[in-house]
Amino acid sequence: MSNRIKKQFWFTPEEETEFRRKVALTGLPQSSVIRMLIKGYEPRERPDDRFFQAINSLNEMIHTAQKLLERSYQLGVVDKDTVEREIKRWVYFISNIESEFLRPEKSPIKWK
């Protein structure tokens, strides 16, 4: 047996159009948008494909750097700790970008 409760909403045609437009901007299902709003978060607009291509490029650069580090360490050419610190900086940088553009923000509206 499920603990889920069905809710039904009635929108005017204008409200429905605006709701669908805003949901489409997020790229999330309608139910997810409603849940986020109830929990006090404002969904963010989904970035375009250029954003995800840039993130993928950065991830490829990190992967390449890690492979170079492994090979250089085997040959005794570089300082492993320095390169690992640099890789961690890139990973942290990507995480910050993702949180800035993808994660929802807490809404400043406080319901009583």
Task: Indicate whether 52 and 107 sit together in one domain.
Answer: yes
pLDDT value at residue 111:
58
Task: Indicate whether 39 and 60 sit together in one domain.
Answer: no
- pLDDT tens for each residue of 13-36: 999 999 999 999 999 999 999 999
Task: Indicate whether 75 and 102 sit together in one domain.
Answer: yes
CA pair distance 28, 23, nearest whole angstrom? 6
CA pair distance 37, 31, nearest whole angstrom? 10
* Domain-embedded: residue 73: yes
pTM recorded for the entire structure = 0.60
CB < 8 Å & 24+ apart, contacts of 96-99: 97/55, 98/55
Confidence label for 109 from pLDDT (cuts 50, 70 and 90): low
The domain of 52 spans 47-112
If you ran DSSP here, which 8-state letter would residue 39 be given? T
Task: Indicate whether 103 and 60 sit together in one domain.
Answer: yes
Number of domains in the chain: 2
- pLDDT tens for each residue of 68-101: 778 777 777 777 777 778 888 888 888 888 887 7
- pLDDT tens for each residue of 42-73: 888 888 888 888 888 888 888 888 887 787 77
